[in-house]
Amino acid sequence: MPSILVVNDDGIYAPGIKALADGLRAVGEVTVVAPLAERSAVGHAITVYDPLRVVEIERDGRFFGHAVSGTPADCVKIAVKCLMNAPPDIVVSGINQGSNTATNVIYSGTVSAAAEGVIMGIPAIAVSLVSFDKKEFTYAAKVAAHLTGLVLEKGLPPRTLLNVNVPALPEQEIKDVRPSRQGEGRYEEWFDKRHDPQNRPYYWMAGKRMILDNEDDVDDVVVMHNNVAVTPIQYDLTHHAFLKELASWKLKP
């Protein structure tokens, strides 16, 4: 049986990670290592100056997995280096509560956990349910299991992960599972200034989602049309096409 490492950023008690782990047991041997508390939007942060605590967690009266006091990327590192007898055949991160499309992939702990697997030479998938309140993970877990089987069979290009966003709809309302590209959507943010009981000011961030491109193959648009979006993501952020022009600049002062 293939070895599957399951991680997330919503924490080891989140319903999404349990649905994912349960769904993947039909595909391989599942090991769960996840943050002890929610670590959403921490990006690819790792813990450097503090020790990591690891505890065994039970769910439904039996052992479920290991909880780590650090970040999602920490969970992948410590799972591979300390908690597993051998590196897994694949890392599957999720099922995240809320979309990870467009620029969200930069902030996402879910995507970053998958990226950490890729950095360590392990194929990886990140899976998100496009809703912050609906908790029906059944079809998202089905998609995750199917794609995990495909990746184990076919492999992925070097330095590449699959970022999967599933509409929060019943299976019969999902039109298709489509390849997509990362869009340019972002949040228009503002800060609500408030005062605590000692009259000291503090700021609470809020924001509105903005979709800046409407091409049919963009992840946000694919999901809006009731399709699952599957986006191949690379962690190489180099603007390769610009390198030649940059070389013509007088860079040395």
Residue 126: the pLDDT is: 98
The 10s digit of each residue's pLDDT in 49-97 is 999 999 999 999 999 999 999 999 999 999 999 999 999 999 999 999 9
Residue 27: the pLDDT is: 98
3-183+214-247 CATH choice from 3.20.20.70, 3.40.50.970, 1.10.287.110, 3.40.1210.10: 3.40.1210.10
Instruction: Kindly state the average pLDDT of the residues 174-180.
Output: 98
Residue 18: the pLDDT is: 98
Please check the confidence at residue 189 and state whether its pLDDT lies above 90.
no
Residue whose token pair is 């490492």:
5
Secondary structure element (H or E) that encloses residue 205, with its range: strand 201-210
Please check the confidence at residue 212 and state whether its pLDDT lies above 80.
no
Residue 157: the pLDDT is: 96
Please check the confidence at residue 227 and state whether its pLDDT lies above 90.
yes
- Residue 209 to residue 187: CA distance in whole angstroms: 4
Please check the confidence at residue 102 and state whether its pLDDT lies above 90.
yes
Proportion of the chain above pLDDT 70, given as a percent: 100
Proportion of the chain above pLDDT 90, given as a percent: 92
Please check the confidence at residue 188 and state whether its pLDDT lies above 90.
no
**Centroid of chain to Cα 60:** 25
Residue 185: the pLDDT is: 79
Of 100, 58, 80, 63, which is closest to residue 7 (Cα–Cα)?
80
Of 8, 41, 11, which is closest to residue 116 (Cα–Cα)?
8
pTM as predicted: 0.94
